[in-house]
Amino acid sequence: MNLERSRRLEQRDFKLDRMHALLRELNDPHRDFQAVQIAGSKGKGSVAEMTTAALTACGYAVGIYTSPHLVDVRERIRINDRMIDESSFASLVARVEEASRALDVDPSYFEVLTAVAFLHFAEQAVDVAIVECGMGGRLDSTTVLNPLVCAIAEIQLEHTAVLGSTLEQIAAEKAGIFKPGAMAISVPQSPGVRDVLLRIAEEVGCTLEFVGEEIDYSFRFEASPELGPHVRICLSTDANEFEHIPVPLKGQHQAMNCALSLAILDRLSRRQFDTPTRDVADGLARTPNHGRLEQIHDRPRVLIDGAHNPDSINAMVRAIGAHIRYDSMVVIFGCARDKDIDGMLEGIALGADKVIFSRTSDNPRAADPVDL
């Protein structure tokens, strides 16, 4: 069964009623595990990966649900970085489809996968699940959760047709993950976004603190024989001190993502999770970098990266310049038609000596290389 071709890829009717009903039919698996929910426009996947790696090293069974996938849809649903096996995936998809028929509802592709992830995490009795929002927050399928920690990565203009045309409108959607009594944390945001997040946190009844304000944070760029060029960060709260932690992913932008991950660990430590600094550092060092300046070939050096907006492209180019020595850069570029193509190409032009335009053969949203 090709789930991706048998389900609606794009959700048009954004509401949580259908997801709640579907999970009720499946005996509410999302109530059987504790969770961290991460929203934002940029960096939330990296935050999820780092948090999962650190908690795994601390000895916990950690589920992670992210999107999109690179090759195999099962990449989205993992426990301690092991993908759900094919048999379990097929069985759980069948259960979700059966529940959908019983309710006479037509869940989207993302809703089906979210239900499958929650079933898998419940059945495997994870200690905690790290859950990345798909889009937005307020009406995202993952927001049926009642998380211990709500984390907000950097907010930028994105999906404006759905989330709103201003940063403040988008921030209000992202803040929809806040729940009464939850611990909410955020990276630094623009003044307007910050005000929206604080207002909604107060309305909901959860505490919200910012990295760089209530949560003390600093970083420095350095080089060493073992790690080469890299960034180290320090983050301290009234409960924890994480000092001189190497950031596992390349780029200065990943320092703030790592800081948000450490802030999540700090919050979890206040809820009986044991997060020793040594274990955290060891776990972070093993963070997978799939699609994040991931090197897949040595001679010639071939890197792959999933940057999909101008800011991400610019951060990628800066990270390559800071971390990698090279004589020339050839970029093979492809993207969806609805992206800011001109803005991305402007960023690529800052570092590339040559650009080759391409597309995946089976993606109906892909831009034609001739048009690029």
- Considering the chain, tell me which residue range(s) the CATH 3.90.190.20 domain(s) occupy: 294-357
- Mean pLDDT, residues 98-108: 96
Superfamily classification of domain 3-285: Mur-like, catalytic domain (3.40.1190.10)
Closest CA to 186 of 256, 284, 238: 256
Task: Return the higher-pLDDT residue of 326 and 78.
Answer: 78
Homologous superfamily, domain 294-357? Mur ligase, C-terminal domain (3.90.190.20)
Confidence band, pLDDT 50/70/90 cuts, at residue 7: low
Would the pLDDT of 11 be above 90? Answer: no
Say if residue 163's pLDDT is above 80: yes
pTM, two decimal places: 0.90
Q: What is the pLDDT of residue 210?
A: 98
Q: Where exactly does CATH 3.40.1190.10 map onto the chain?
A: 3-285
- What is the enclosing helix (H) or strand (E) of 320? helix 310-323
Angstrom CA distances, 242 to 194, 205, 245, stand at 25, 28, 7
> 229 vs 144, which has greater pLDDT?
144
How far out from the chain centre does Cα 370 lie?
A: 32
Query: How crowded is residue 104: how many other Cβ atoms within 10 Å of its Cβ?
Result: 6
Q: How confident is the model at residue 283 (pLDDT cuts 50, 70, 90)?
A: very high
The per-residue DSSP string of 82-114 comes to EEPPHHHHHHHHHHHHHHHHHHT----HHHHHH
Give the dihedral sign, CA 296/312/170/271: positive
Render pLDDT for 307-329 as a digit per residue (tens, 0 to 9).
888 888 998 998 898 888 889 99
Residue corresponding to tokens 């993302």: 110
**Least confident stretch, 59-63, 300-304, 316-320, 364-368:** 364-368
184-208: burial string, b at 16+ Cβ within 10 Å, e else: bbbbebeeebbebbbebbeebebeb
Q: Which residues are within 8 A (CB) of 98 and not within 5 positions of it... i.e. 6 or more apart?
A: none
Cα–Cα dist 44/37, whole Å = 10
